């Protein structure tokens, strides 16, 4: 900027003339910038509010307080205490009988079916496992809080339009009447849906949870990290510190950068061809998923690690070499420790991307219905993003809110990983 007092008045005039225009264009530029940020923020807010709005109700689940008489006549009439005998007893009838206590007038076949459908069909299995665990319960009365069926739960959450004709909705007039009666008696309450975090997948929305997918994703990321991080870091150190600068190195470098941009589905196909078809690894296993994601994350880690190595100032290397350290001592004792925070940050961000990836998993059979929680990386398992995909495709109404809830869980873990990366960077970043 020129100082007007030391210049001729004609120049000042010219500058003053243009000043307004310059201020205006600066103002406009700032305005464009702010508008684009607001625009992006608005999308983000719409995205989050729609997911939270749809998903928050999945964290509660309607439950009914009920007392169930464990009738020895039904469970074990001959008093055998034989496990097989007790396993195949008609627990549905026990549940039905105790529901009938509330509504003794129910008699027709249709009404009986409707009444049975008030509570989750997992109830009888739950009683079965309670009895099998402790056979002394037979003959006693259990006070339980049992899950309502998902359709009834949807009604309680206001997702069913009861002004429609009975034939056009999922719950019948009787069920609406009964539910309202039980509600006024104070027997129905909304409780925290712990099943969502403690169960594997299920076809009944009220019994479905994300734990199986969470464990699957955890195994996968573990394998991804174990495989990709050491390999990626080793490759980066070699390329950055030891590789001769020649055409071949350049060629490798260009290819690594290209690999980082390869669409992830291609890695899935590669995994299918190599790991499953050639090596005969099991389909749907987190082991294969982790290896595929490792291939995908590998170039990202190399690039991040090389950037971290480059940011270590040459004075460190020079000083180490100057006091007589060998090349390898210099790299491993001085450069590598200083670059490690940067490498970890880059890797965590790469892993976060891997966590949200579903396309390559489709190819290796991880889009499967898996109820049991995997206990090793070789068991069949789903992964979080795939669980979202599977639930979004399920016909039952109750899965709509659970899909959004699963998205929230996924976003939570992404947030945790990214904030860890930021925390690491802030904690260990060294300003030279």
Partner 1 sequence: MIFSNVTDMPQMNISIIEYFFGVNIMKKSISIIAALIVMATMSFTASAARDTIKIVGSSTVYPFATVVAERFGKSTKFNTPVIESTGSGGGLKLFCKGVGVEHPDITNASRRIKQKEIDLCAKAGITDIIEIKIGYDGIVVANSKRADTLSLTKRQIFLALAPEIPHPNGAKQLIKNPHKTWRDVDSSLPNVAIEVLGPPPTSGTRDAFGELAMEGGCKTFKWLKDIKKENKKRYKAICRSVREDGPYIEAGENDNLIVQKLNANPKAVGVFGYSFLVENSDSIQGSFVDGVLPTFENIANGDYGVSRSLYFYVKKDHIGTIPGMKEYLREFTADKTIGQDGYLTEKGLIPMPSSEYKQFRSAARKLTSFKGLN
Residues 328-347 that bind partner 1 (CB under 8 A): 332, 337-338, 340-341, 344
Q: Applying CB under 8 A, which of residues 106, 274, 378, 411 lies at the interface with partner 1?
A: 378
Range in contact with partner 1 (rule: CB under 8 A) among 20-28, 49-57, 260-268, 378-386: 378-386
What phi-psi label fits residue 139: left (phi over 0), alpha (psi between -120 and 50 degrees) or beta?
Answer: left
User: What is the distance between the alpha carbons of residues 272 and 276, in angstroms, rounded to a whole number?
Assistant: 5
User: What is the distance between the alpha carbons of residues 201 and 94, in angstroms, rounded to a whole number?
Assistant: 26
26 or 333: CB nearest partner 1: 333
Q: How far apart are CB 25 and partner 1 at their closest, in Å?
A: 43
Residue 319 touches partner 1, criterion: CB under 8 A: no
Return the residue matching tokens 């109820």.
371
Residue 297 touches partner 1, criterion: CB under 8 A: no
Residue 367 touches partner 1, criterion: CB under 8 A: yes
Q: Where are the alpha helices (DSSP H) in 56-77?
A: 72-75
Q: How far apart are CB 193 and partner 1 at their closest, in Å?
A: 18
How many residues sit in the footprint of partner 1 (CB under 8 A)? 57
Q: Applying CB under 8 A, which of residues 284, 297, 305, 358 lies at the interface with partner 1?
A: 284
Q: How far is CA 138 from CA 53, 64, 73, 129, in A?
A: 44, 22, 10, 12
Residues 170-189 that bind partner 1 (CB under 8 A): 170
Q: Pseudo-torsion of CA 240, 244, 250, 251, nearest 10°?
A: -110
Say which residues have a Cβ less than 8 Å from residue 95's Cβ, sequence separation at least 6.
Answer: 66, 68, 116, 119, 123, 124, 127, 146
Q: How far apart are CB 24 and partner 1 at their closest, in Å?
A: 44
124 or 264: CB nearest partner 1: 124
Q: How far apart are CB 68 and partner 1 at their closest, in Å?
A: 18
Q: Applying CB under 8 A, which of residues 52, 85, 86, 122 lies at the interface with partner 1?
A: 122
- Collapsed DSSP state (helix, strand, coil) of residue 234: helix
What phi-psi label fits residue 65: left (phi over 0), alpha (psi between -120 and 50 degrees) or beta?
Answer: beta
Residue 239 touches partner 1, criterion: CB under 8 A: no
Q: How far apart are CB 388 and partner 1 at their closest, in Å?
A: 12
Structure tokens at 146: 């049992």
Structure tokens at 192: 């925290």
Q: Applying CB under 8 A, which of residues 66, 68, 95, 223 lies at the interface with partner 1?
A: 223
Q: Applying CB under 8 A, which of residues 22, 87, 177, 327 lies at the interface with partner 1?
A: 87
Question: What does the per-residue mask of binding to partner 1 show for 189-218, with x meaning CB under 8 A?
Answer: -------------xxx--------------
Which of 415, 413, 394, 407 is closest to 196 using CA atoms? 407
Say which residues have a Cβ less than 8 Å from residue 347's Cβ, sequence separation at least 6.
Answer: 225, 228, 229, 232, 297, 300, 301, 304, 305
User: What is the distance between the alpha carbons of residues 161 and 95, in angstroms, rounded to a whole number?
Assistant: 28
CB 163 within 8 A of CB 79: no
State the DSSP code for 212: H
Range in contact with partner 1 (rule: CB under 8 A) among 13-21, 93-101, 276-284, 323-331: 276-284
Q: How far apart are CB 36 and partner 1 at their closest, in Å?
A: 29
DSSP letter string, 74-134: HH-TT----HHHHHTS-HHHHHHHHHHHH-TT--SHHHHHHHHTTB-TTHHHHHHHHHHH-
Q: How far apart are CB 31 and partner 1 at their closest, in Å?
A: 35
Question: What does the per-residue mask of binding to partner 1 show for 150-169, with x meaning CB under 8 A?
Answer: ----------xx--x--xxx
Q: How does strand 60-69 pair with strand 141-147?
A: antiparallel
Residue 414 touches partner 1, criterion: CB under 8 A: no
Q: How far is CA 57 from CA 153, 314, 426, in A?
A: 10, 56, 37
Q: How far apart are CB 41 and partner 1 at their closest, in Å?
A: 26
Q: Applying CB under 8 A, which of residues 95, 354, 361, 370 lies at the interface with partner 1?
A: 370
> Where on the chain is the footprint of partner 1 (CB under 8 A)?
87, 121-122, 125, 128, 160-161, 164, 167-170, 202-204, 223, 226-227, 229-230, 279-285, 287, 290, 332, 337-338, 340-341, 344, 365, 367-372, 376-380, 392-397, 424, 427-428, 430
């Amino acid at each position: 900027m020129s100082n007007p007092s030391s210049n001729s008045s004609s120049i000042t005039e010219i500058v003053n003339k243009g000043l307004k225009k310059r201020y205006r264009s600066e103002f406009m530029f700032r305005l464009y910038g702010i508008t684009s940020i607001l625009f992006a923020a608005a999308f983000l807010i719409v995205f989050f509010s729609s997911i939270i709005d749809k998903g928050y109700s999945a964290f509660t689940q309607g439950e009914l307080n009920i007392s169930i008489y464990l009738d020895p006549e039904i469970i074990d009439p001959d008093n055998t205490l034989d496990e097989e005998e007790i396993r195949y007893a008609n627990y549905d009838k026990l549940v039905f009988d105790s529901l009938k206590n509330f509504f003794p007038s129910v008699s027709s076949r249709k009404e009986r079916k409707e009444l049975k459908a008030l509570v989750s069909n997992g109830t009888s299995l739950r009683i079965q496992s309670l009895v099998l665990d402790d056979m002394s319960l037979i003959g006693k009365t259990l006070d339980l809080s049992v899950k309502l069926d998902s359709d009834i739960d949807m009604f309680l959450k206001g997702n069913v339009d009861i002004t429609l004709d009975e034939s056009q909705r999922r719950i019948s007039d009787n069920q609406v009447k009964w539910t309202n009666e039980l509600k006024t008696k104070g027997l129905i309450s909304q409780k925290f849906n712990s099943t969502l975090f403690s169960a594997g997948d299920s076809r009944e929305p009220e019994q479905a949870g994300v734990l199986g997918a969470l464990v699957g994703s955890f195994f996968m990321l573990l394998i991804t990290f174990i495989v990709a991080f050491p390999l990626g870091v080793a490759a980066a150190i070699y390329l950055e510190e030891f590789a001769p600068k020649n055409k071949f190195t350049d060629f490798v470098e260009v290819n690594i950068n290209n690999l980082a941009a390869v669409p992830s589905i291609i890695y899935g196909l590669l995994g299918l061809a190599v790991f499953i078809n050639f090596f005969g690894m099991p389909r749907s296993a987190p082991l294969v998923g982790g290896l595929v994601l490792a291939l995908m994350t590998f170039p990202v880690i190399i690039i991040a690690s090389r950037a971290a190595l480059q940011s270590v100032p040459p004075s460190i290397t020079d000083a180490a070499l100057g006091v007589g350290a060998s090349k390898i001592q210099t790299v491993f004792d001085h450069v590598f420790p200083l670059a490690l925070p940067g490498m970890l940050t880059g890797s965590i961000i790469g892993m976060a991307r891997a966590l949200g990836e579903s396309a390559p998993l489709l190819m290796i059979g991880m889009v499967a219905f898996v109820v049991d929680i995997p206990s090793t990386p070789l068991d069949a398992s789903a992964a979080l993003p795939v669980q979202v995909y599977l639930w979004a495709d399920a016909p039952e109404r109750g899965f709509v809110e659970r899909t959004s809830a699963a998205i929230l869980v996924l976003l939570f873990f992404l947030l945790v990983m990214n904030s860890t990366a930021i925390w690491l960077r802030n904690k260990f970043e060294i300003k030279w």
